A and B are shown apart, each in its own frame.
Chain A
């Protein structure tokens, strides 16, 4: 029953409501999606970790959303909902002299420019945006005023971001792998040290705490063939032998490894792809475009998905370092086959729960809430990385596939996936409930 209600709400939200008063469309959903993609490209270039990417998306989209809220008091603002985000005051005159649509795109670029390590790469996009604005008949005064306004909002959001605990991470003790069999170990080929062990110290956007939706504990490590752990270990191992083409394709499609290290002798380089969060940002863009949403609704949808995923990552990373569980690759080499290697490269952090399962489920819950239950679409986000598009009948179908893809890829056990899905579901629901709707 509940499902239907969500569906109805979603349909209403999509078809009418706020953000319809713009008389002329200069910048729309497409511009939004393109600008965000530019930011994604920079993150791919920088080999931004999945967790860090989710944080960046959160603030970038939040800045865009709050920019619109300055113009349209009907637009749902996250002030008062996202913890610690205070009201952003901008001079009325400045608002009057600015263009709301340009402001949104500006806000995206400018926040990304300031936040991302290689943000400087976006400066050319900001410059060309100004030219486009002129072409689209905005006066220099208007552009300048918009610029000024956006700077204020961006400054406010960045100040807010600066206080979330991220900058303190560089002062924390680096992770030291434990030596016991049940503990996570660095894996080939890079033997990279575990990333972001203190991500749980970051301030969430919506959640009360990183441990609010702690999943059940994982199967306990055991070499006993009758144990749950061993059974699931065996499942990963056996599956690799009889993996179907379709399963392999699914694993590859959802690999989302920002840096698959390639080593040939001394030759070394990484094949880069978007991270899981970027993938779902891409899906959000596909849905917004397909639905021909207004710019403001697009911003709102992206903000909700990205802060939801950001919190999901914080929760998941808390779980990961709480249990610090060994990866299948390490345990299989130890217990079953010393020459085993998974289809996908094992990511450099503990196994439980599966990050892709958690955040995909959260994202799909939010998208389902926004766009409806049986929303079919074609996911072409991975095309640029040489992977074929996949068609999905619903967001839930996609997130389920993303979750199980980690089993096919040989990098997660089943309980990390199933409990990860549950963790993601709860977070999704909570975020949906907390988010403003006007």
Chain B
């Protein structure tokens, strides 16, 4: 950073702190209903006949519909109420509203009202209202209604006549033109009213249920025809649809659909096939999803031109409610669901970043928007006019149904107490369940996928139960106001004070007039180009939960100048607009004489999939390390397959060895002249007992000029001292590898890595073997090994004085030899889980710990991998170190580290690893009450209830003596980092955020884009973390383009061409005759190969 920049930076910091001190006016202000004339409250009356037991969506609340029903330029408001008539309020301007419900005749019939969809359904230029019905009622009471606008603020109910009186249990409906014939078609999201959780879900999945399943209707001249089956829409009884979004997810010009489902059924991602049908592709494109998906929204949140998806779930933010409400991890249930086709579902909000290549990277935890309690509406819109879409989230549930104390203790107590009054005992029990209103959330998007939670300062500090919500510029002042429908309380209008606070930012609005009966141009996409990025918004009115807003397109801008605006119309035609001014509202209508704007030219990607033959698939036993130690953060067993390469048969071509597992021996693959690989049978490998190999290296052990092979045996599912943990040395004789039994000292440590170097400068190659863990006793780890070669390929343990620092390194995962002090002897860098980076200096063959000197930042991480290369072209080797990443619920920093306290606290012979990390400024144990008391039975007496454990910290759990005797490991840094070697000191430098989307297990460097500068590929992911952490799979092979000076830029997946699904565990570059290739070896899969 140069000086000028630095001082600017300091100024900025001062400015920030000054701002922080002054009381900042709130971004939103509730306009009192006394002033507005709004008098609507969605009041629920629980009765013995109608309550959460008779109707499981009793507390889902009502919706909001916004649109200009009288075309006076002011947005009017419709509220739906579950048990009472809806209300239509006419916007009279200046925050005054008039209730015109009776005159308009849009209160709705008797029944349970849910979603509101505002659209010009019949294409007469006037907005109509489609109202959804559900509830535990007969079919005729559930038919949805369509109120057609007569143009005089009266409406006529016309659903049956037009064929849209859907009689399912409807949540929401959405109008869109899926067949691009310039009229609006209809998709209705339904949900089952029966509880199907006890049934064989995989069986039920194959059935059809017209009441629970979703429906698609095609508009044929204003008569709608049910085309559900024809179009390939899923309509099974497990449909518990709670949300729907329309978007062109793959930018092919055709609208696609995202539908959220509660409970076991996964969400649906319907890709439009352009022929009137859809293909459901969710499982192909996302790695995991919300479990109890509720509302959802779609928007381009990183301004890359691709729509991203945000789904809501029920995970509370604070420790106490997490401990009280979170259901226990159940691996059987989880596996059962995955095996039966319900995919990986985890209970938290999911932010799915669209990679543009048919894959999504879920980064909700990295962005910090993953836990907003029991959440309904998510509205992704730019509330502060800075060009980035912010997140508004409503939440709150009528009762804390999943309170663990209620489940385990009070439910039964109440039932017992009420026995003898069978008619309404369930009802009365129900009323004893606590209600906990929670504040709504507003996250401001800072760009770069970072969000600030401003809920408490932006006017959303009041706890409430809130469901449907919508935004619109109600006072036409250039910012988006909010309308929120509360449960059992008055609905609220939240006025955006951006302009009033003198901080209006820049914006532009568009009134869009479409073609034919699609009068509002639903489906048009507006791209606003500025010097600071491109903003894209699609004109789809349904967002959030049970709500819709057919309003002018509002786009906040990062700059006061618009370069140009492009509209992509529903039929795919594009139109360019110049001279659009900021802070104006513009009318845009479809011109008939448009030509197709040529799509962006076909991208040439850095990498291309390679078709070379590589006959190998990784197979490893299905294991669950958590069965042995449930409190570990992640499984240790899925570290494979690791590889090593060398020309073993002296044909000038690099060959590859892939480590073995307990189900398959190690495999040698020989490269052929044509670049293909063939499997090479080696009896020397196959006759050994099957082991879990964690690493291997080719080197010349016996100084005979060919490549011998050292293989590390490791793994977790062994007993201490098992012979399967003995490492092996295979001597190469004319390409045949034979185990040399006597040449290694006996050892039974579970190793992680092997790295070779001539450490004593005697002309032969010596060995370092990293020690990972004592099987079954995480986080204990034995001493790592240093093996000295006698020149004949026979190894002995180095004298203990030479290897003192190896006693206490910890759980080593990787190491590298490098001569950092240019004394002609290689020094050792070591990394590991819960470890800082070590530099063990080699002084005449003796290792000395000089870590503090070389890695002065003392960054304690969950490091997985090291790679050395000269990235800045200064002639020394720099370091790239792969870490756990930032996309997990565990957040750490120097002042707020994660700490593991471990010992056999209850003297039962097993290690109790208790991990604590900070939530909202305080360190709490990760384990739930059940997990903690199952680990140490004695704690059952200390914490008899969930409530008693819900605030417990480590000092409440352990006695002072136990705490004193506890061993501690700490982690304060999870970022995968570039360390620039600056005269022997390794300086930590940040990599682009995408480097931290996932735990990095494999790193490769090279000039992949042939610009003469070194680039980096990072890969990893983890499928088997604790369920509470969940699958982290946002990485598809990340290419970081280097500028040759130590700076790196993320190249999007679309441009890099990388799309590696699953858990990559190693990356090998192979040079061939034709081209260079990089091979990703993936856990439980066939390797993925690219050429470049």
Contacts and interface: CB of A to CB of B under 8 A. Distances in A.
Contact of B411 (A193, A269, A338): A269
Given A117-B941, A170-B908, A191 B336 contact: yes
Given A267-B53, A270-B408, A168 B401 contact: no
B136 to A, nearest CB: 12
B331 interface: yes
B467 interface: no
Given A186-B333, A186-B336, A333-B200, A170 B936 contact: yes
B626 interface: yes
A27 B203 CA distance: 60
A386 interface: yes
A272 B203 CA distance: 30
Interface stretch (B191-199, B596-604, B760-768, B871-879): B191-199
A265 B627 contact: no
B910 A170 contact: yes
Contacts of A177: 332
B169 to A, nearest CB: 13
B909 A268 contact: no
Interface string A355-389: 00000000000000000000000000000101000
Interface in B402-428: 402, 406-412, 415-416, 419
Contacts of A169: 937
Contacts of B402: 266, 268
Interface string A146-176: 0000000000000000000011111111111
B39 to A, nearest CB: 31
A179 B406 CA distance: 34
A264 interface: yes
A285 B112 CA distance: 54
B630 interface: yes
B199 A339 contact: yes
B935 interface: yes
A188 B200 CA distance: 8
A402 interface: no
A218 interface: no
Interface string A35-46: 000000000011
A262 B941 CA distance: 26
A175 B627 contact: yes
A228 interface: no
Nearest to A188: B198
Contact of B908 (A171, A175, A341, A384): A171
A197 to B, nearest CB: 10
A26 B481 CA distance: 77
Interface in B314-359: 330-333, 336
Nearest to A384: B416
A368 to B, nearest CB: 33
Interface in A249-288: 262-272
Nearest to B399: A267
A119 B330 contact: no
A291 interface: no
Contacts of A301: none
A268 B401 contact: yes
Contacts of A267: 52-53, 56, 401, 430
A189 B198 contact: yes
Contact of A174 (B401, B412, B630): B630
A386 B401 CA distance: 25
A45 B413 CA distance: 9
A47 interface: yes
A264 B412 contact: no
A140 interface: no
Contact of A186 (B332, B627, B907): B332
Contacts of B624: 176
A270 B411 contact: yes
B87 to A, nearest CB: 28
A62 B253 CA distance: 78
B849 interface: no
B688 interface: no
Contacts of B330: 191-193
Contacts of B412: 269-272
B232 interface: no
Contacts of A168: 908-910
A82 to B, nearest CB: 22
B373 to A, nearest CB: 13
Interface in B941-960: 941, 944
Contact of B628 (A47, A173, A193): A173
A385 B610 CA distance: 68
Nearest to B406: A269
Contacts of A120: 941, 944
A171 B913 CA distance: 11
B52 A265 contact: yes
B868 to A, nearest CB: 39
Interface in B195-247: 195, 197-200, 203
Nearest to A270: B412
B906 interface: yes
A118 interface: yes
Given A167-B937, A271-B415, A188 B944 contact: no
A339 B333 contact: no
A212 B910 CA distance: 29
B331 to A, nearest CB: 7
A266 B411 CA distance: 13
Contact of B56 (A264, A269, A333): A264
Contacts of A186: 332-333, 336
Contacts of B407: 268-270
A188 B199 contact: yes
Interface string B612-632: 000000000000101110100
A171 B910 contact: yes
B873 to A, nearest CB: 52
A266 B401 contact: yes
A341 B630 contact: no
A61 to B, nearest CB: 20
A175 B934 CA distance: 14
Nearest to A172: B910
Nearest to B374: A266
Contacts of B630: 174
A188 B336 CA distance: 11
Contacts of A118: 940-941, 944
Contacts of A268: 401-402, 407, 411
A177 B336 CA distance: 11
Contact of B626 (A166, A174, A189, A192): A174
A47 B328 CA distance: 16
B900 to A, nearest CB: 17
Interface string B893-912: 00000000000001111100
A166 B401 CA distance: 34
A262 B408 CA distance: 11
B934 A170 contact: yes
A193 B332 contact: yes
A268 B910 CA distance: 33
A167 B910 CA distance: 10
B399 to A, nearest CB: 8
Contacts of B401: 265-268
A172 B624 CA distance: 13
Contacts of B406: 269
18 contacts: A167-B906, A170-B910, A171-B910, A173-B627, A174-B626, A188-B197, A189-B198, A191-B336, A263-B197, A263-B198, A264-B53, A264-B195, A266-B292, A268-B401, A269-B415, A270-B407, A270-B408, A339-B203
Interface of A: 45-47, 117-121, 166-177, 186, 188-189, 191-193, 262-272, 333, 338-339, 341, 384, 386
The 8 closest A-B pairs by CB, nearest first: A171-B910, A269-B411, A265-B56, A117-B940, A174-B627, A191-B333, A186-B332, A118-B944
Given A120-B941, A121-B944, 17 more contacts: A117-B941, A168-B910, A169-B937, A174-B627, A191-B332, A193-B331, A193-B332, A265-B195, A266-B56, A267-B53, A268-B402, A269-B406, A269-B415, A271-B411, A272-B412, A333-B200, A339-B203
